[in-house]
Every structure is written in C-alpha cells, then in structure tokens.
A and B are shown apart, each in its own frame.
Chain A
Amino acid sequence: MLSCKEITKLVSKSLDRPLPPSKRIIVWMHLQMCRLCSAFRRDQILLKERIAQEVSRESGKEMPQEVTLSAAAKQRITKAMDSQGS
C-alpha cells in the first residue's frame, strides 16, 4: 500500500503526463477511499484550469488601462533604443 505522500506525488506527475496503467490503477483505488488525496487532486486540476484560462486570455488584458509604463520608464527605454538603433 502506498502512503498518501507517495500517492500525491503520482497525482502531481499525472498532471503533466499520463501515468503508466499499473500506477493509474493504484492511484484510482487510493482516491476511491481517501478524501484527502482526492481533495488534493481536485484542487490541482482546478488550479491548472484557472491558470490555463487566464493565460489564454493573454494576461495583462484584465489589468486596468491605467496601468501603464511610467513616463520616466518610457523615456529611459526610448533612450536605450536610440543609442542602439542608430
């Protein structure tokens, strides 16, 4: 029997690539009985989904338009571009 510590490691790996079938069965059986590890899995799937949604919306778009480069930064960047550009 694998401990919760070991099972969560496998759950974590399964988020990035499918587990081999033998491991998948072990994890599945454990999750049937263990609501703590099930909670861990549920959270991680949600976290992944929310992040993916956000990233696909091209982050930054949700930021208010008032968030802008400061005048000082614009000046500095323009200067750096001038000195490289020509």
Chain B
Amino acid sequence: MERSELTKADQNRDPATWVDTYGDALFRYALSRLRKPESAEEVVQQTFLAGIQHRHQFSGAGSQQGWLMGILKRKIIDFVRQRDRSAQPAARAETLDTRDSLDSFFDSSGKWKQNVRETLLEPLDSVDRQEFWPIFHACLKSLPERQSSAFMLREMEDLDSGEICKELEISASNLWVLLHRARLSLANCMKRHWLQEKA
C-alpha cells in the first residue's frame, strides 16, 4: 500500500529532508524494539549518518525508507550487542553461570516446583491482545540483560544462533541456556502480571 503511494520524488530524497520525512517512522520502529526514547533517538541518528555515508549504495530499487529501515535494523542489533557488552562484568558472569540457574522453577529432582505449577497451567493466550505487548515488554525488561539480548536477537530480530553467538561472544551451549531461561521467566512473568491485573 505504502509503496504505491510513493512518487518518484520520494524514492531519492535529499538527506537534508530525511529527518522530517522518515524520522518519526524510524523512531517508532526503534522505540518498539529498544523501549527507551533516548536509545531510539541514538540509533535513528546513527542510521541517518550511515545513510549519508553509504548514500551511493542505494540502488533506487524499493523505497528509500525501506533502505533506511534496513540500516536501522542493523543499528538496533549493534546497539543491543554494545549494551550487552557494557553490562557489568559481574552480571555477565552471573547469567552465564549455568549450573543452578533453573532452581527457581525446578526442585532438586528436576520436578516443577509447587509454587510455579498454578501459574504454569494458566494459559498464556488468556492474556488478551491489548495487554499482551505492554506486559511482554515489561517482562522482557525485567530479565537479566544477557537473557533479554539473546531472546530479542533470536525472536525479534530473527538472527540464527551462529550470528547471535558471534554478536554476544558466547558459546552455543551458553546461548541455549540463556534462551531457555529467558523463555521460562518470560512466560511466568507475563502470566503473573496478568493474574494480578485480573484479581
């Protein structure tokens, strides 16, 4: 729909007009991923700067906005990776400690703990659509940085595991642990939020 609305002039605008033409759309996209306005502004700026630098690489196939959006996606991944790297070394070590990281869900014999069972059986799809995203983002934010980075790159940016390991400088087995832990915590957190709101 949007593409057909574009006139020829829209295809290759002068960078001086980018901020006014594309700024808000890119900002909304970035905000939907990074949640913090300051972070979103930063990646939008980086996107435009990279766009100027690589302007000659824009072939004119597809829209200029689509091209900039492609750069933005890459910048978001870089941002997540850098945020992850700058996390406290202690926090990094802690979340990479794989041995007992599932203790809040399973007892020593590997059975589901009594206190998580009730929440677990509450179906996640009872969380209604309107509420789903605010709760999802609140819960994603509450995860340790490494878990949320891994989860975001996997499920939202759709990177494959090899790429994520490279971005986060972790081994494949560490990635599985991070993702698994993130999944357990996210579902549990979302349902607890939901049950609370319903009560």
A residues at B contact (CB < 8 Å): 2-6, 8-9, 12-13, 15-16, 35-37, 39-40, 42-44, 46-48, 50-52, 54-55, 58-63, 65, 67-70, 73-74, 76-78, 80-81, 84-85
Contact = CB atoms under 8 A, between A and B. Distances in A.
Q: Closest 9 interchain pairs by CB?
A: A3-B110, A60-B28, A60-B29, A5-B110, A59-B32, A5-B106, A12-B180, A43-B124, A68-B24
A55 B158 contact: yes
Contacts of A69: 19, 23-24, 27, 41, 44
Nearest to A55: B156
Interface in B103-132: 105-106, 109-112, 117, 120-121, 123-125, 132
Given A43-B187, A46-B125, A74-B20, A58 B29 contact: yes
B156 A51 contact: yes
A4 B97 CA distance: 21
Contacts of B53: 84
> Does more than half of chain B's interface fall in helix, strand or loop, or is it mixed?
helix
Interface residues of B, number: 53
B187 A40 contact: yes
A12 B176 contact: yes
10 contacts: A8-B184, A13-B180, A16-B179, A42-B123, A47-B124, A51-B156, A60-B27, A68-B27, A69-B41, A81-B49
A80 B45 contact: yes
B41 A63 contact: no
Nearest to B179: A12
A4 B125 contact: no
Contacts of B124: 42-43, 46-47
A72 B197 CA distance: 37
Given A69-B24, A80-B45, A47 B120 contact: no
Nearest to B72: A60
Contacts of A47: 124, 155, 183, 186-187
